[in-house]
Structures are given as structure tokens and as C-alpha cells.
Amino acid sequence: MDIATPTDYRTIAAGLVFPSEAFIDGHFVAARSGARFANVNPATAAILGEVAACDSEDVDAAVAAARRAFDTGAWSRAAPEARKDVLLRLAALLREHAEELAVMESLDSGKTITDCLNEVGHEVPNFFQWYGELIDKSFGKVAPTDESALALIVHEPVGVAGLVLPWNFPLLMAAWKLAPALAAGCSVVVKPAEQTPLTVLRLAELAAQAGLPDGVLNVVPGFGETAGQAIGRHQDIDVVSFTGSTEVGALFLKYASESNLKPVGLEMGGKSPFIVLDDAPIDDALVSNAVSAALWNGGQNCSANMRQFVPRARKDEFLDKVLARVASLKVGDPLDPATEMGAMVSADHQRRVLGFIDAGIGEGARVVAGGSGAIEGLDGYFVRPTVFDDVTHGMTIATEEIFGPVLGVIPFSKPEEALRMASDSVYGLHATVFTRDIDRALHFARRLPCGTVSINRFSEGDIKTPFGGYKRSGSLARDNGTEAIAQYQQTKTIWIGGPEG
Ligand code: NDP
């Protein structure tokens, strides 16, 4: 069937059965306390259903199941080909259920159906396929020794991994962590964000269908302070991988230091620059990249390039073209394939973003598009795409992560001034540079203190390239690429024979 209209997607939505329980040891179960929380569609403010609110007792049960599964070796010590087959079957099932999952994700998060179809229907299955394929192609090492000894360096799954997820790319962030963790042979306990628990619960069901043994993948929906903290402090969780705010990332370091010193992989906030050097033509490609770098996913993106540095002499040309593109953005019903920007994830988050816009106005920046206020005819938690002129380095909106659809233009006189302001942030996740000059491109790429530098387009890289941040944007752990597997593995030396030493 060729699906292309909002009505088609609404028909799928009407037929959806939303998961509502935790997934522990291969089964859907209620929270032990019986507690539940309301799950809201942020584009309509309607309640989609109620979901089990797990707390530390449920986390204990999930960890016990994960540990049992790990110790049996049914997954952790299974033949690489067997684990690969399961992940490939999961990838196939995810593709088969792509439209169902994409609509569920859109309803749960307010994201556009177009983005959900791309992420859930295409990128997510590709993650399970890519890491599945990697399993039987990953080798250990043999260290150089004299001929009386053999020194092997092997990798082993670390054990039980706690994965704590954000709401901005619910199933994609699950896949970023789950696929390498499962490929490494770990058992996992996943806590989705309270705003977006649905699709990862459905994925757990599909993983069981694909043949993943009971207990290997457990999902505990619930709140950060309860379920999230219980994961962070658990004595029998061997590693945590977290994506979310820098404040909560810091809490996970504290939890680890106050419990079992588990390693913590952190992917956190950003305040990423988009730098236009004076030789770059301000053409359609540049303008479209500038707008999507700041506003894609409603700006709810850790690598959003909100700070846009433009040569003073070319600021008017840049702003005119950006404003024309922003004016044409279609904001509204996420289930309409023509929609380019959906809702903010929650009423709280809408308030937070509007608060930043008010702070920008209060500190003297000038709104030239959008600004505060609801959008007529829309009941959900929308924010107009907003563009600020007269932003100066040091203003709140140029310093703190807004995580909303806000683009700020900061003029500069010399390229080194742009480099200095762009680098002067507590964050270091991402940067984009537009220039035709290869020497300048390399200079900026080398000097910008961040995990990804993208030249002449806005890109976070892809499945094959590591993603993570410098400074308060991340730890040394990386998601994606072969590097991600390292988060979930121990390295062991096996030394055989040789002279006594
Ligand atoms: P959080 O950092 O609060 O949430 C991320 C995850 O951590 C969620 O699963 C959350 O659970 C959990 N969590 C929250 N509090 C605790 C806690 N005390 N102990 C253990 N786990 C906890 O992000 P928010 O949703 O509150 O968003 C706030 C800001 O964070 C955004 O505006 C944005 O700036 C940034 N952010 C960055 C993301 C990124 O991709 N780097 C993603 C999301 C947010 P629960 O959902 O139940 O609170």
C-alpha cells in the first residue's frame, strides 16, 4: 500500500495497541507497586494510555533476570553466528513493523511522521543489522612475545548494562546503545524517558520474537528519580550508558561513586556552533543546512547548531535567506507527511523553551521570526520556529542548551574571533563550518574542541562513525562505530607459557 496521507497514518494510529507494562524476563508485567503514569500525545495533549511506573523493586527484578540470563551463557557465551542471526532477525522484524512503530513513535513524542519513518523504519533496523554483522567479524589480538609464550588479548561482555534513554529520538537512541550492548554479549536493563516509553517496549517484544533469550533485554519504564536512580546505584549493574542532560549525567557519576564504581558512558548536552566563513557562498544549500542544523526535530537535538556565526558584512544577506526558509516551514500535525516540525515533547519542555526565548528578549536579542506564544489551531505543545538577531556571545541563549526551535545569529569580524567564540563553551559536542578553502576547513576542524566537526553540511556522521562529546558534553565513551562496542566489553590478557618473569 502506498501510504502518503494523514488519514492513512491516522488509520494506523487507530489500530495500535500501546504497550503498557514493563518487560522483564521475557514477559510484560505490571510494576510491583501497581503504580502507573499517564502517557500523553504532545501534539494533542490527549492521554494515550497508562504505563507501569517502575521503581527500585522492579529494577531489582530486571537486574536479577538480566544476571541469570548472563550467567547461563545462553546469550553471553553463544556462538557469534547465533547472536548475529538473532540481531538480523530483529532488524527484519523492525523493518516489517516500520509503519506501526513510526506512527507509535510520532504519537508518543510529537516528532514528524517523516522523521519517524526514516529513523524507526530505516536507521534503527540498520543499527541491529550493522552490529549483528560485526559480531562474527571482530577479532582479538596476539601480543608480540618470544616464542616460548603466547599472549592473547580477548574481549568479554562486561555483564549487565543499564541503558538510560532520552526522549528526543526514543527508538534511535535505544538502538544506538542496545545494538552494540547486545552484540557484545551483555544483558541489559533499559529505562526509556518517561515521556516516550512505547516503542522500546514494543521493540523488546519483537526481540523476543526474533529469538533473544528471556532476561537478556528488560525494559523498566518509570521516572528518573526512582527507576533511573535505582539503575545508577545498583550494585549488580556492571556498566551504565546514559544520554540526556549534563546535570543528570553528573548524577550518574555520583551514583557510581556511591555504589559499585561501575563505569558510566555519558552523552549529554551541547551548544554547537554553525560557522559561515566569508568565502562561503550563501546559497540554497548553505541556508537549508543552517535552518535544519538549528531547527530539525524542533531543535530537540543534542547537536543542534543553535549558535550561528556569520561575517558581519554578510549578516543581512544570511538573515534574509534564513528568514525566507523559516517562513516556509510547515509546523503542525506530526502525522501529516507534509509537516516539517512537530510539537515539543511535553508541556514542561514547551514552558522551558519559551522561558529561554523570553530570556533572549530580556537580554536584548531581537526576535525576527517566531517568538513566544501558542500556534493558532493547535492544541498541543508547539513552539514557533524562532530566529534571533543581535545575539551576543555570553547571553543566556548563546550559552545554555535550549533544546527548542531557536536559531541565533552572532556576527563576527575575523575568522579567529569566530573560532574563539565558538570554542568558548562548557560543551563540546558538534560544530559545522562552511568554507571553500581547504586550509581553513582543516584549521577549524583541528582546533574546534568537539567530538564531531562537519564541513560544508550539517551532519552527525552515520552508524560507522563514533559520536560523543568533549568537555561537559560527554565522557570518553562513544556511541556508534566499532568504538561503541568498547563501552560494553572488558579486555582480558591470557598469557600462556614463557619464561618466569
Ligand atoms: P534528563 O537528563 O532529565 O533525562 C534523561 C534520562 O535520565 C531520562 O530517562 C530521565 O528519566 C533520566 N533521569 C532524570 N532524572 C534522573 C535522576 N535523578 N536519576 C536518574 N535518572 C534520571 O533530560 P530531560 O528530559 O529532563 O531534559 C532536560 C534537558 O536535558 C533538555 O532540555 C536538554 O537540554 C537536555 N537533554 C539532552 C539530551 C541529549 O540528547 N543529550 C536528551 C534529552 C535531554 P525521566 O524521563 O523519567 O525524567
pLDDT tens per residue, the chain (501 residues)? 456 899 999 999 999 999 999 999 999 999 999 999 999 999 999 999 999 999 999 999 999 999 999 999 999 999 999 999 999 999 999 999 999 999 999 999 999 999 999 999 999 999 999 999 999 999 999 999 999 999 999 999 999 999 999 999 999 999 999 999 999 999 999 999 999 999 999 999 999 999 999 999 999 999 999 999 999 999 999 999 999 999 999 999 999 999 999 999 999 999 999 999 999 999 999 999 999 999 999 999 999 999 999 999 999 999 999 999 999 999 999 999 999 999 999 999 999 999 999 999 999 999 999 997 677 788 899 999 999 999 999 999 999 999 999 999 999 999 999 999 999 999 999 999 999 999 999 999 999 999 999 999 999 999 999 999 999 999 999 999 999 999 999 999 999 998 655
Query: Cα 489 from chain centroid?
Result: 21
Determine which residue's CA is closest to atom 32 belonging to ligand 1.
403
If asked whether residues 304 and 323 sit together in one domain, one would say yes
Secondary structure class of 408 (helix, strand, coil) = strand
As a whole number of angstroms, the distance between CA 361 and CA 395 comes to: 10
CATH at 428: 3.40.309.10
If asked whether residues 125 and 148 sit together in one domain, one would say yes
Whether ligand 1 lies within 6 angstroms of the CB of 244 is answered as: yes
User: Where do the H-state alpha helices sit in 26-73?
Assistant: 56-72
Is 256 part of any domain? yes
If asked whether residues 219 and 285 sit together in one domain, one would say no
User: Total structural domains in the chain?
Assistant: 2
Last residue of a domain, one of 228, 250, 268: 268
If asked whether residues 264 and 285 sit together in one domain, one would say no
Whether ligand 1 lies within 6 angstroms of the CB of 164 is answered as: yes
If asked whether residues 354 and 394 sit together in one domain, one would say yes
Is 1 part of any domain? no
If asked whether residues 333 and 421 sit together in one domain, one would say yes
If asked whether residues 279 and 250 sit together in one domain, one would say no
Determine which residue's CA is closest to atom 30 belonging to ligand 1.
245
If asked whether residues 409 and 311 sit together in one domain, one would say yes
Residue 227 carries which DSSP code? I
- Could you list the residue range(s) of the whole structural domain that residue 385 is in? 273-459
Phi/psi for 491 (5° steps) reads -110, 125
Whether ligand 1 lies within 6 angstroms of the CB of 194 is answered as: yes
Is 3 part of any domain? no
CATH at 66: 3.40.605.10
Query: Cα 166 from chain centroid?
Result: 7
Is 449 part of any domain? yes
If asked whether residues 257 and 288 sit together in one domain, one would say no
If asked whether residues 331 and 387 sit together in one domain, one would say yes
Is 476 part of any domain? no
Record the pTM.
Answer: 0.97
Whether ligand 1 lies within 6 angstroms of the CB of 403 is answered as: yes
Is 480 part of any domain? no
If asked whether residues 248 and 323 sit together in one domain, one would say no
If asked whether residues 251 and 308 sit together in one domain, one would say no
Is 140 part of any domain? yes
Rounded to the nearest angstrom, the distance between the alpha carbon of 232 and the centre of ligand 1 is 13
As a whole number of angstroms, the distance between CA 62 and CA 187 comes to: 10
Q: Which residues are catalytic?
A: 267
